[in-house]
Amino acid sequence: MPAAAAASPLRSLAYAVPVVIILLMLPYVVTPYQTILMSYGLIMAIAALGFNLLLGYTGLLSFGHSAYFGLGAYVVAFMVKYLHITSMELFLIGGLIATLLVTAVFGIICVRYTRIFFAILTMALSQVVWSLAFKFFWVTGGTDGLRIPTPTILNGLLTVPKNKIAFLSNTYYYYVLIVFIIFVALMWVIVHSPFGQALQAIRDNETRAAFLGVRVRRARWIAFMISGGFTGVAGILWAPLNGLTTPDILYWPFSGEIVFLTVLGGFGTFAGPIVGAVAFNYLKTYAVGLTVYWQLLLGSVLIVLVLALPTGIMGTLGRLTMTIKGEEGK
């Protein structure tokens, strides 16, 4: 299931513009709670988009993306606690540099292997990060985590409402939305660039790609860094929104969640991870609100999904439109 290779920029914009307009109007239409919920969804979408560069486009299943998400969030917390920085832009720069440094090292190690060994290596390395955050409690706050206060935006250029809810549901929502749009556009450019095509060639046939002159391991390594960087940015944005970062976001089931929501949306398409992240966010929030046994519900959804709808929401929608179009053509 290759991602729509022939997608022209104009056609993609035709889908994207109405979605962006809806997202821009959201704070005026729905309650602050709903807006904040959407912020979480958009943030997870950035993480999933990065994750899917590896799974959907390069054919590598990472089970350790919690490490890069958590790293982004913890770097923000460290910058607050030890450097007394509150600027959101500095968080983004600092967090991204730290995430890229770590992914560069982890990447060199992980891209030597593929398939199940890659999955286990990424998982083992993410667990190293988790255990450090868990054990060095005098630095990281241990299981209590670290608090992140309201950040300043654009060096105080934008006045930040004193009310935390007002800030999160309005100023910060738009901030997240803008970063989200920038990173979606960036990912779109990446996967449609010659580099993105090379990754898909590697996924489909590694040997053939190598014979065509693609430096397979180097391409995988760069994809790994981009993927981790995206997920790190998601963690950075998540930290002030959540206000608290704990080792839970570094533990391996969180990596499973990232895999889950990507498969939910459909990893064969560009928009799949975005749709999956937003849908999963609603699903999880309502399942948690509905019952203490939300994991039971999510686990059942996952199993049904894998057994009955392996192409996810977007893949299934795509197939339905194809069927309808095919019938119209007759």
Partner 1 sequence: MALWPIHMLNSLLYASTLFLIAGGLSLIYGVMRIVNLAHGSLYALGAYVTAWTIGQVAGGAPPAVLYALLPVGAIVVGLIGAMIEPTLLRPLYQRAEEYQLLVTFGVLLILEDVMRLVWGPYPISASQPWEFLGGSTFFGSRYPNYNLLVIVLGFIVAVLLWAFVYRTKFGVILRATSQNMRMASALGVNVKRVYVQAFALGCFMAGLGGALIVPIQSAVLGMGVDALIIAFVVVVIGGLGSLEGALIGALIVGFVRTLGITLFPEIELAVLYIIAAAVLLIRPTGLFGRA
Q: Which residues here bind partner 1, judged by CB under 8 A?
A: 55, 61, 63, 109, 112-113, 115-117, 119-121, 123-125, 127-128, 131-132, 134-136, 251-253, 256, 259-260, 263, 292-296, 298-303, 306-307, 310
Q: How far is the CB of 151 from partner 1 (least distance, A)?
A: 30
Q: How far is the CB of 251 from partner 1 (least distance, A)?
A: 8
> What is the biggest distance separating any 2 CA atoms in the chain, rounded to whole angstroms?
69
Rounded to whole angstroms, the Cα distance separating 222 from 220 reads 6
- Pick the closer one to partner 1 by CB: 18 or 299: 299
Least separation in angstroms between residue 187's CB and partner 1 is: 21
Rounded CA-CA distance 325/274 in Å is 25
b/e burial code for range 222-256 (CB count within 10 A of at least 16 → b): bbbbbbbbbbbbbbbbbbbbbeebbbebbbbebbe
Nearer to partner 1, 5 or 116 (CB): 116
Measured from the CB of residue 129, what is the shortest distance to partner 1 in angstroms?
9
Q: How far is the CB of 203 from partner 1 (least distance, A)?
A: 11
Give the integer Cα–Cα distance in Å for 246 and 259. Answer: 20
Beta bridge partners of 147: 244
Nearer to partner 1, 99 or 127 (CB): 127
Token pair in block for residue 294? 């939300």
Q: How far is the CB of 39 from partner 1 (least distance, A)?
A: 25
Nearer to partner 1 (CB atom), residue 259 or residue 275: 259
- Residue 65 tokens read as 């993306």
Specify the residue, 115 or 164, whose C-beta has the smaller distance to partner 1: 115
CA angle 147, 149, 152 (to 5 degrees): 150
Query: Shortest Cβ distance from residue 122 to partner 1 (Å)?
Result: 10
What is the residue-wise DSSP string for 35-93?
HHHHHHHHHHHHHHHHHHIIIIII----S-THHHHHHHHHHHHHHHHHH---BHHHHHH
Q: How far apart are the first and last CA of the chain?
A: 25
Tell me whether residue 195 or residue 252 sits nearer to partner 1 (CB atom).
252
Q: Which is nearer to partner 1, 140 or 169 (CB)?
A: 140
Nearer to partner 1, 163 or 295 (CB): 295
The answer to whether the CB of 199 falls within 8 A of the CB of 55 is no
In whole angstroms, how close is the CB of 130 to partner 1 at the nearest point?
8
Strand ranges, E, within the chain: 146-147, 244-245
Report, in Å, the least distance between residue 86 CB and partner 1.
Answer: 30
In DSSP terms, which residues pair with 152 in a beta bridge?
87
Q: Compare residues 175 and 260 and give the one whose CB is closer to partner 1.
A: 260
Distance CA 98, CA 105 (A): 11
